Structure 1
């Protein structure tokens, strides 16, 4: 069986993290999202993997080449994004009889693959109390219909993992354009189930659809709660490590630092002296968390520096950012209501009472910058000393 990963989309809802990379290469626990999927495929015994690429797809091809842990990889370029059905149809170029089809922006436990592989035609389903943002799976054992975005619904939803015989391609070719002008894979499936049995495979393990940047914080929490730990760096005297704390090779934890796990720290980092790192934090490789800085439930990507007198809470900091001394991030509204942000010109309720900043790569702030809750900062932005910022800061902006 061939695995076919859909990884061509622009990931506009994940801005600013997709300024500089395709969505599947956004790191989750210091490893790209798509790499978690590749690991699951290899462990399940899949030997042929094809990846559909588009926006910044060259980065995926350059990173993984043509083999991954013994599995062969090849790439198909999608010139024009015309919907999920059109994306799946690119797999028809292969002669395989059966395909494992996966969205390239999911995080799930490896057992999800083994659960679905034994079926001829199947859709993976996960239970959601609030299913109105997903495709609701109608049917008991066999799928009768995928019903999109049913208001006030709950139940099994489409998890974006499928097994289909190649006959599915003929049904995709018959699909008419949706109101948004796309060829929808779910429309093809709804036609297919009228003439073929399609199994609903109920999956009870961890599954997360990473649709918005703050979903990375949820996925990180889930990952850290189950991770196994090793300490590969140097820990000086008068350091407190409490709970599960993983430390990469070449990292130095300096005196006076207090770390409450679960926390994951990458390679060649400098932490401290006198830093405070709180639970559910991931720090990438080559980072610096310095004197009197506090980081809580956040993601600090490779090469970024939170060097002195900083507070970062419930935030995502991109690669190679530098926070000036005294830069602080607010993460809680005064009225303690859910934080709302603007995504693609629409106000979105994040569902979170606490959310700091989503910061793209190569952002620099001056000293004593104040960043309000739910702020989104585009890559390569520069923020002048003493500035107070909120809302949207565009890519390559200069804020004075």
Structure 2
């Protein structure tokens, strides 16, 4: 198998506010877009053709791979194809739109908003080959996740008497089921060419649903799989054994980032200092450090964990980095600021003077002067002095979020704050647990924010003043 397809044409509306100015596949995880993580993995596995089926803003994907080649010297074998951006919509149509690029051989298919491990991709390919090279799916157990959030499958042992416990088959597919034994969700696929005609004939309506579940008009790849199975074709299955993340909602970004930061940092086995990089003798480094060219760790810095730092970055003057971190290029971190474990800092950022960060800040974010933030901050965002966000509710509960009109409570990071790209806050703004702020918006000075703010909105504080005469006579003069 030499060809892989990444399906990256979705609009990402559930991920608001982070897919407003970028495709979902361009969301950064540990300072690298999801699509770049995927293509590096596929390239490492020896894939010679990687086709990305993009939609709106797919030009950003093309640019990302040009920049990757310019900075690493490695040109990945990627072709970005802009598929139909409006109607008809759906993963089945996106896959069929790039069919001509797959040649006449079998191919791998990944979703453009997922992260998985090389070992599981290899296991999928082996299962596909051992089963005769027809169709196979990599699936992940739902565990404690709600089946109503996913397109789900049920599995059974393969009918072949010679099969092992690992030889599974998909026996049913259901869209967002209430219950009924649908225990897994789809992660990736391997197909032979005959499957493509089922994508071409997709009806654009997901009919494999329980009564009353109201499917939208969209050509899901999983519906083509249901048609495939209805015609008597087997769909082989293999379960994931490593990490897998489907980045569908804002808190999934934090979950995936936590995993990726740990994975990258734990690969360090000693200090790795590039040309011009240095660690001051007064720094207390309790772990391993990888520093890019001309980066330095200065006086009185405390590092309790492993950190990966880009080029031309300065960490100095008593900064405290607790746990593992990934930090970008041309960034300044100093003056007694504090980073919680697993945090990621983008390129050209500033974290200064007693600022505290727990989460992710993307490129060109400024955190100054006595602020506390837990969550995600989008590109080009400037937080006013003493902007803080609540991390604990008075009832010790988790915040309920509204995603495309539906209320749900995340199992993790429910109380994080989610700021979109190009946001500003004024001094002393207070952001309560779970709030989201859309792109190009402002939260004014002194605002106590308790509700989500739409894109391109300013919210400011109105005050009433009681003005009276005052002077020395008030003191008996």
Same fold, TM exceeding 0.5? yes
- TM-score tier, shorter chain, comes to over 0.9
Structure 1 stretch 85-94 or stretch 249-258: which is displaced more? 85-94
RMSD (CA atoms): 2.0
In structure 2, the partner of 1:110 is 118
Paired residues, number: 398
Preserved contact between residue 4 and residue 101 of structure 1 (Cα < 8 Å): yes
State how far apart, in whole Å, the 2-side matches of 1:117 and 1:4 are.
14
Paired position in structure 2 for 1:129: 143
What's the TM-score once normalised by structure 1's chain length? 0.94
Question: Structure 1 154/231 Cα, relative in aligned 2: closer, same or farther at 3 Å?
Answer: farther
- Normalised by the length of structure 2, the TM-score is 0.79
Tell me if the contact between 1:125 and 1:137 (Cα under 8 Å) persists in the aligned partners.
no
Alignment of 1:1-400 (within 5 A): 1-65=2-66, 69-80=75-86, 81-94=88-101, 95-118=103-126, 119=128, 120=133, 121-130=135-144, 132=147, 133-134=149-150, 135-140=152-157, 141-152=168-179, 157-178=184-205, 179-193=215-229, 194-228=231-265, 229=268, 230-232=290-292, 233-296=295-358, 298-313=359-374, 315-352=375-412, 354-400=414-460
Shift of 1:355: 2.3
- Structure 1 alignment gaps of length 5 or more: none
Q: Deviations over 1:231-263 (max 9, x none)?
A: 332111211111112222211112121111112
- Between the aligned partners of 1:319 and 1:362, the Cα distance in structure 2 is 6
In structure 2, the CA distance between the partners of 1:383 and 1:76, relative to structure 1 (3 Å rule), is closer
Secondary structure, aligned partner of 1:190:
helix
Deviation at 1:69, TM superposition (A): 3.4
- Please say which structure displays the higher CA radius of gyration: 2
Distance 1:157 1:280, change over 3 A: same
The answer to whether the 8 Å contact 2:429/2:447 transfers is yes
Deviation string 1:8-28 (CA, Å, 9 cap, x unpaired) is 111001111112111110100
Partners of 1:127 and 1:9 in 2: CA distance: 24
Give the secondary-structure state (helix, strand or coil) at the position aligned to 1:392: coil
**Offset at 1:105?**
0.2
Higher relative contact order (CA 8 A, sep 6+): 1
Relative to its length, the structure with more strand (as a share) is 1
User: Could you report, residue by residue, the CA deviation over 1:275-297 in whole angstroms, capped at 9, with x for unpaired residues?
Assistant: 1111111011111111011112x
What is the DSSP-based 3-state SS (H/G/I as helix, E as strand, rest coil) of the residue aligned with 1:136? Answer: strand
Cα shift readout 1:338-379 (whole Å, capped 9, x = no counterpart): 211122122221223652211111111111011111111111
Q: Which moved more, 1:384-393 or 1:6-15?
A: 384-393
Report the CA distance between 1:43 and its aligned residue: 0.9
- Structure 1 residues 251-260 or 21-30, which shifts more? 251-260
Deviates more, 1:42-51 or 1:59-68: 59-68
Q: Which runs of 5+ in 2 are unaligned?
A: 158-167, 206-214, 269-289, 461-477
